[in-house]
Chain A
Amino acid sequence: MQKILLTIDKISTFAGQASSWLIVSLTLLITYEVFSRYVLRVTHPDAFDAMLMMYGTLFMMAGAYTLAKNAHVRGDVLYRFFPPRVQAGLDLTLYFLFFLPGVVAFCWAGYEYAGESWAIRELSSITSEGLPIYPFKTIIPIAGVFILMQGIVEIIRCVQCLKQGKWPSREVDVEEVDVDELKEMVHVTDKDIEKLDEVITHKKESNK
């Protein structure tokens, strides 16, 4: 079981990470477009569409990846003080109550929406003869299915947690605030912090 869960994690992560490289091409595309506009005096009308498509694909496909790494924002006023079993119970209920109806509907709606667009081979209306947008609209159901799959994995995780009383492990990923890495960046070690502690306690004593 754990193997299947981790495999789906890996698939979501791979899809998300693969599309996350779009940020680099987005940066380069726009930088070049601005350069071209002001220096070469050439503009590419399709660049605007391309920009939106890269951005849209980037964040839609990263949705499941973000879910796999438990990085979607959640209100943690209460949540982080709950024991794991309560957390899992709440999550499980709300996955059924909110997540499944919302995401299933979104997938289904996206599937029809993209289908209509494919049927007429829809082109972007920003420029005449714009880029085809039916592949872009197809991203909606695809991203939806990835999220749904990942959501089911998370549901199973909740059940496991309810059984075992602790959250099953996830694969590690790069974190926004990785304290150890930041410590290394500015060359501070735990020993330095301990020494600092002495400074404070010493000062308190001398004040007394």
Chain B
Amino acid sequence: MKKEAWFGLAMMALVVILVFIVMPPPSQITTGHLGLLMLAMIVLAIMLGFPTAFTLMGMGTMFTWFAYRSVNPETAVKQTLDLMVQRGYAVMNNDVLVAVPLFVFMGYLVQRANLIEKLFTSLHLVTSRIPGSLAVATIVTCAIFATATGIIGAVVTLMGLLAFPAMLKAGYGIKLSAGAITAGGTLGILIPPSVLLILYGATAGVSVVQLYAGAFFPGIMLAALYIGYVIVLAKLKPDVAPPLSEEEKRVDLPAFAEILSRVRSKNVMAGLIGAIKGKRNAEIPMRTLLKQLGIALLPVIMVSLLMGSIYLSLTAPEGEVPEGVVPMGIGHELPAEETRAEEFGGLQEPEEARKEEPHAPGAIAETKEEPSEAKGITPGGRKPAPGGYWIALGISVLGLAFFYIFFNFVRLELFKMLLASFFPLAILILGVLGTIILGLATPGEAAAMGSFGGLVLAAAYGQINFKMVKESVFLTAKTSAMVCWLFVGSSMFAAAFALLGGQEIINGWVKSLDLTPIQFMILAQVIIFLLGWPLEWTEIIVIFMPIFIPLLAHFQIDPLFFGLLVALNLQTAFLSPPVAMAAFYLKGVAPPHVTLNQIFMGMMPFMAIQVFAIFLLYVFPQIGLWLPSLIYK
């Protein structure tokens, strides 16, 4: 038998031994102990490999009946049946879980729009001057694509086909390449909109909106830590991530740009405007020039639209601007602003990126403050804009000025490539997120619009056809059925567990341990980390979260904060050998000489970074809680 199987058997043996240690002698067994026994049995049964949803359902039914029978044998059957069907119907009627099939559908559509190749090529050229550029581009591509699709298996496989060969040919180490792909691919379950957070919200009764707002920055932080690690490693050990040759960095300029940068100026604005006004432009048709100028002006148009609409909404006289229309406008403009910030980073002007970033959320704050400031202003007249607005405006103008000073023709080409790959996805993600976080739409509604956006995206890239839609529809049905039936099963199971009083025993036991909140937190995270080995994240969320959540109030821990930690923690479940799914997907498309062990070794540093990220979030909870507290005060 393989050693992985021995590992599984060892885990099972461990559970059995634990049961024997914890269980009192048969004479003292109460129904509560039966609840604990049930918990141990479910772990064993899941490990035996029977479909989890039905294991939960069957066990829940039997133990519910058992619990009712110990009270009143005559009505036990009737009560059990009632409870089961009510639990089932509650899942069918759950307005949080509606978002699951819709987000899943959006993911399959976006994946089939086939943007990943373009995305990777353009990002790789944009980052070409950064040390370890290919690995950085891989992580960014993975993060964006995994966020938009949420299908980790497909992202890791695709990147294994695209980025893995590119990195190996460029002389990158196998371990680093494998680590970047697997770690990047799993970011999709953390960065919202993710299905994991919906499930946690539905289980723990935490608002999904707040979870999304809260997980945004931790997700970005984790991606940034990965990128930082790769850059530092590439600087320290250039032999595992050698810089690209000039040949690979080269961006071919189209004929007109070649001529203009030779004859006029390397700067896009100077070159184009000079050529339009000047006489010596006979070689280049006017149409080309105007078209390029239009593209080059997009950033400034976006910023003016955004700042203009914010100005209008800030200074709007009370009651005149109908609510809804203007916020909707902001919801759509906001993504443009945030992507612009990223685009600066992409073009190697990180100073601007940093300056730009804080002001986008700031803008949200300003719009949200509107009602309070609106008081006392006479209806009809325009209010003065707050000072923060003018500062933000100043920063954007400065940022734009810098952008255009360094905007040469090579960068124009890169900008165009990003426009065709990076921006559509970024706008889709941020549009969906923005509408949810600003409260313009429920997660379900935003997910539906995201799916619609996915259809539009696929159509825009000429990938839409009946077969593609049909496949996405069927896959959506299977994935949603898998998740939602699991939820049906687990809610029956949870009912039985509560009826038997297992929860009280656990509560009493944990309270008797007299832990400080920090100790409890560490204990909980370690348990979840360990569960991540044999179980899938869906199972951990739906079966074990209901046990942890009631304990949070005792330790005065915010369930929102706990959820963010759990989401970060479950990332490690995808990377911890020997059951790391991400590794097996990569192995499936890797050349035969890349061994599974090399992939595992490559994932280790990234796992360490994940643990470090959990630690960071724990020490600085504001990373996660700042945005929700800003918006939902």
Q: A residues near B, CB below 8 A?
A: 16-17, 19-21, 23-24, 26-31, 33-34, 37-39, 41, 48, 51-52, 55-56, 58-60, 62-63, 65-67, 69, 71-82, 87, 90-91, 94-95, 97-103, 105-106, 108-110, 112-113, 136-137, 139-140, 151, 173-177, 179, 182-183, 185-188, 192-194, 196-197, 199-201, 203-204
Contacts and interface: CB of A to CB of B under 8 A. Distances in A.
A3 B60 CA distance: 34
B98 A52 contact: yes
Contacts of B73: none
Given A58-B477, A73-B482, A79 B52 contact: no
B98 A51 contact: yes
Contact of B84 (A24, A38, A67, A105): A105
B324 A56 contact: no
Interface string B255-266: 000000000000
B248 interface: no
Given A102-B61, A177-B157, A73 B84 contact: no
A81 to B, nearest CB: 4
A72 B48 CA distance: 14
Contacts of B474: 17, 20, 173-174
A52 B158 CA distance: 34
A7 to B, nearest CB: 19
A59 B484 CA distance: 7
B481 A62 contact: yes
A20 B104 CA distance: 12
Given A23-B480, A75-B536, A197-B591, 15 more contacts: A20-B476, A27-B102, A27-B448, A30-B444, A30-B448, A75-B535, A77-B49, A78-B9, A87-B49, A95-B50, A110-B88, A176-B475, A196-B164, A196-B169, A201-B593
B510 interface: no
Interface stretch (B89-97, B205-213, B500-508): B89-97
Contacts of A52: 92-95, 98
B451 A27 contact: yes
A27 B452 contact: yes
Interface string B90-131: 011111011001100100000000101100000000000000
Contacts of B440: 38
B452 A31 contact: yes
**Main SS at interface, chain B:** helix
A75 B543 CA distance: 13
B51 A74 contact: yes
Contacts of B589: 179, 182-183, 193
A173 B478 CA distance: 11
Given A79-B48, A192-B165, A72 B534 contact: no
Contacts of A30: 102, 444-445, 448-449
A193 B166 CA distance: 11
B461 interface: no
A69 B45 CA distance: 21
Contacts of B373: none
B374 interface: no
In this complex, the interface size class of chain B, counting residues with CB under 8 Å from chain A, is 35 or more
Contacts of B535: 75
Contacts of B445: 30, 33-34
Contact of A179 (B168, B477, B588): B588
The 4 closest A-B pairs by CB, nearest first: A79-B49, A98-B58, A20-B477, A56-B92
B475 A200 contact: no
A202 B340 CA distance: 43
Contacts of B164: 196
Given A59-B101, A103-B54, A200-B168, A38 B324 contact: yes
A101 B61 contact: yes
Contacts of A19: 477
B1 interface: yes
A39 B11 CA distance: 57
A200 B165 contact: no
B53 A72 contact: yes
Nearest to A207: B239
B2 interface: yes
Contacts of B85: 106, 109-110, 112-113, 140
A27 B102 CA distance: 7
A179 B585 CA distance: 9
Given A17-B474, A23-B477, A26-B448, A101 B62 contact: yes
Contacts of A185: 114, 158
Given A24-B473, A98-B58, A109-B82, A31 B448 contact: yes
Contacts of A69: 478
B39 interface: no
Interface in B312-358: 322, 324-325, 328
Contacts of A174: 471, 474-475
A66 B482 contact: yes
B321 to A, nearest CB: 13
Interface string B50-68: 1111110111111000000
Contacts of A55: 92, 97-98, 101
18 contacts: A26-B448, A28-B452, A52-B98, A59-B484, A71-B478, A72-B485, A73-B536, A75-B535, A77-B47, A98-B57, A102-B54, A105-B84, A113-B82, A113-B85, A176-B153, A177-B154, A182-B589, A199-B169
Contact of A51 (B55, B158, B444, B475): B444
